[in-house]
Amino acid sequence: MKIKMSALLFIFVIAFSFSSCTKEDGAIPDAKTLLTSKTWTFNTVTNSDASQATYVQLIKFAYTGQTYTFKADGTYTSVSIGGNDAGTWSLSTDNKTLTIDTEPYKLVVAKSSFTIEAAGGFVLSYK
C-alpha cells in the first residue's frame, strides 16, 4: 500500500510539474504590447462620487462607440461621435501613466482591457 501511495504521489508531482511549465493563459502582457495589440472600444465609465452620476451618464452617451488605435510608433487615432482625432501617446517608465497628447491618465492594464482615470475621479474602461 505504501508503494502505491508513493507511486501515485510521484505521478501527481510529475503531472503538476508539466502543467506548471506551460505559458499562463491569464498572464497580463506589458502595457505597450497590450495597447498596440488592437483597436480599443469604450466600454464603461464609473465614478465613486455619487454626486457625479449625471456626468457619468453624459460621458457614457458621448463615448459610446469611441475607439482608440495606439500604434507602436507613439501615434494614435480615435473615432467617436464627436469626430476623428489623431495625436501622440506615451507611457511612463513604470507603465502606470498613459499620456495622450499632453494629458496624463492613471493607467491600469488587464489581460484584455485597460482603464484610465481622468480628472474628477472618472474611470473609463476600454475593451
User: Looking at residue 28, what is its pLDDT?
Assistant: 73
Give the pLDDT score at 19. Answer: 43
- Say if residue 8's pLDDT is above 50: no
pLDDT, position 7: 39
Every domain of the chain and the residues it spans: 27-126
Q: Return the percentage of the chain with pLDDT > 70, whole number.
A: 80
pLDDT at 118 over 80: yes
**Is the model's pLDDT at 121 over the cut of 80?**
yes
pLDDT tens digits for 39-82? Answer: 999 999 999 999 999 999 999 999 999 999 999 999 999 999 88
87 near 75, Cβ under 8 Å? Answer: yes
- Output the pLDDT for position 26: 63
Dihedral (Cα; 111, 116, 122, 124), 10-degree rounding = -50
Could you give the CA distance from residue 87 to residue 99 in angstroms, rounded to a whole number?
11
Using an 8 Å Cβ cutoff, are 98 and 107 in contact? yes
Which residues contact residue 52 at a Cβ distance below 8 angstroms, ignoring those fewer than 6 apart? 120, 121, 122
CATH architecture designation of domain 27-126 = Beta Barrel (2.40)
Output the pLDDT for position 57. 95
Q: In which residue are the cell numbers 510529475 written?
A: 14
